[in-house]
Amino acid sequence: MRITPRPPETVAPADIDLFDPERFRSGDQHGAWRTLRETAPVWWHERAGQSGFWCVTRYAECERVLKDYRNFSSEHGTILASVGAPDPAGGATISLMDPPRHTALRTQAMRSFSHTVVRNRTPRVTARVAALVDRLGEGEQDLAELARSLPMAVTGELMGIEEQYWDRLAHWSAVGLTPEDPAFAVGASTAATLSTSHHEIFACFMEIIAHKRANPGDDLISALIALAPGGRPMDDGTLLLNCYSFMAGANSTTPHVINHTVLALAERPDLWRSVAADETLVPALVEEGARWTSTPYHLVRRAVNDVVLAGVPIAAGDWVCAWLPSANRDESVFADPYEFSLRTLPSPHLGFGAGPHYCIGAPLSRMALGVFFRELVRRFDGVDITAPPQHLYSNWINGFSSVPVRARRRPAVASSMPAAREGACAHGTS
Ligand code: HEM
């Protein structure tokens, strides 16, 4: 069973559909993206009876769209679901604002995610992540389920979310991020599932915000409460949306970099052995995991001026979709792009985006993913995939609802687990 994508054949342009979530679940879209990079790097995607959108597939144009916020705005929505129906949270959250308003909020939020904060958090994160990795040693496990709990364990404290909320928020985020996926459906329709998940998540955050107003701390939510963009504090609705934005940023991405990277390593035992023998290779593994996975699949912007992109005129008001897995397989930037390999750093990949909205959680994610893979190769020789992984039904999140695996323990360290013990003794687990 080969899981990871092979170098693709090109496909007939008439067969390309980059909207239908089923096409992302039952296969991959690398053939379509390669075709577009080679023949129509800025391509108009028709949709019967609905708004079409431009597809941008080469590295250079994707980077341009993400960096050029003066022409390509985030304020109307950043995912394909917003095309033709602008996001009602536009202009209110960090990810749906353009500079200069965005800059004020981002500068404040950066303090909660700085390299210094991340460095100080590393011991506690290590203990928590090591405990999760330990669970992989308990017979057959669903890696996707386990990975879903990692973002809260890593970001929860830093955001100011008490541990009692972590499981609920992780669960309802998974439901809300892919409400079309039958694995997460809780309502009779996608809209009902989405509404239930939002209700549950906002109920948690209302309690958390009320608590933080009374007991401010050194955390992101307290910082957002204290912030007064434009001279006025945010109202509760705007605070809720921003809390959601940060949590969704973490939950929609980090678990799937783990899933994809472990699947790639399962097919490349030589790389697993290399990293186990030389842990200085872990950062290269993390970067390649982010390039290889490229989740979210896409970042959407709306043109606010008439503009020309790679010779193609784009009209003000048009929606433009940058496909990250395509940019990250661009042959003009990456040698052997369909090969998972430990590349020279720094890797220029766009897995964390580019420009003013470059992922604010990138330093934290890099640290947490590094800890995860280091603890993984310290404990295990490899993993066996025990049943076909189930890909998400989503054109947005490149991930899995389920990845059944059995990890093979390394005999020499079966009972020692140095890092977990060290973290737990020195720093506790809560
Ligand atoms: C491997 C893990 C991650 C990946 C691949 C990833 C990817 C991305 C990407 C591609 C963007 C750009 C969005 C855009 O341009 O519209 C972004 C932005 C963002 N990410 Fe992440 N992310 C990761 C982890 C996290 C974590 C752990 C957090 C939580 C703290 C987070 C929070 C955010 C936020 C709030 C933004 C918006 C920043 C802004 O608009 O200024 N991300 N992320």
Asked if residue 407 belongs to a domain, the reply is yes
Specify the residue with its C-alpha closest to ligand 1, atom 12: 353
Tokens of 258: 């783990």
Q: Do the beta carbons of residue 381 and residue 410 sit within 8 Å?
A: yes
Give residue 73's pLDDT band: very low, low, confident or very high (50, 70, 90): very high
pLDDT at 423 over 60: no
Asked if residue 3 belongs to a domain, the reply is no
Asked if residue 152 belongs to a domain, the reply is yes
- Locate tokens 């941008």: which residue? 56
Q: What is the pLDDT of residues 104-161, one digit of tens each?
A: 899 989 988 888 989 999 999 999 999 999 999 999 999 999 999 999 999 999 999 9
Q: What is the pLDDT of residues 257-310, one digit of tens each?
A: 999 999 999 999 999 999 999 999 999 999 999 999 999 999 999 999 999 999
Interatomic CA distance for residues 308 and 136, integer angstroms? 50
Q: How far is the CA of 49 from the centre of ligand 1 (A)?
A: 32
Give residue 228's pLDDT band: very low, low, confident or very high (50, 70, 90): confident
Q: What is the domain range of residue 149?
A: 13-427
Q: Do the beta carbons of residue 321 and residue 298 sit within 8 Å?
A: yes
- pLDDT score, position 346: 97
- At residue 345, the 3 state secondary structure works out as coil
- H helix runs in 47-165, sequence order: 59-67, 101-110, 115-135, 143-148, 150-159
Q: How far is the CA of 361 from the centre of ligand 1 (A)?
A: 6
Interatomic CA distance for residues 60 and 163, integer angstroms? 42
Ramachandran assignment for 139, one of left (phi > 0), alpha (psi -120 to 50 degrees), beta (any other): left
The length of the chain is 430
Q: What is the pLDDT of residues 389-413, one digit of tens each?
A: 999 999 999 999 999 999 999 986 5
Specify the residue with its C-alpha closest to ligand 1, atom 32: 249
pLDDT at 335 over 80: yes
Nearest residue to 198 via CA among 172, 228, 163: 172
Give residue 232's pLDDT band: very low, low, confident or very high (50, 70, 90): confident
Q: CA dihedral in degrees (138, 287, 121, 176; nearest 10)?
A: -70
Asked if residue 324 belongs to a domain, the reply is yes
List beta partners, residue 301. Answer: 320
What is the domain-level CATH number for residue 338? Answer: 1.10.630.10
Q: How far is the CA of 47 from the centre of ligand 1 (A)?
A: 28
Asked if residue 2 belongs to a domain, the reply is no
Q: Do the beta carbons of residue 194 and residue 396 sit within 8 Å?
A: no
Asked if residue 372 belongs to a domain, the reply is yes
Nearest residue to 273 via CA among 281, 148, 249: 281
% of the chain surpassing 70 pLDDT:
95
- Choice from 75, 129, 253 to test ligand 1 binding pocket (greatest atom count within 8 A of CB): 253
Q: How far is the CA of 209 from the centre of ligand 1 (A)?
A: 22
Asked if residue 1 belongs to a domain, the reply is no
Long-range CB pairs of 147-152 (<8 Å, 24+ gap) are 147/254, 147/255, 147/256, 147/258, 147/259, 147/403, 148/174, 148/251, 148/255, 150/254, 150/255, 150/258, 150/368, 150/372, 151/247, 151/250, 151/251, 151/254, 151/255, 152/250, 152/251
Q: What's the number of domains the chain is made of?
A: 1
Asked if residue 7 belongs to a domain, the reply is no
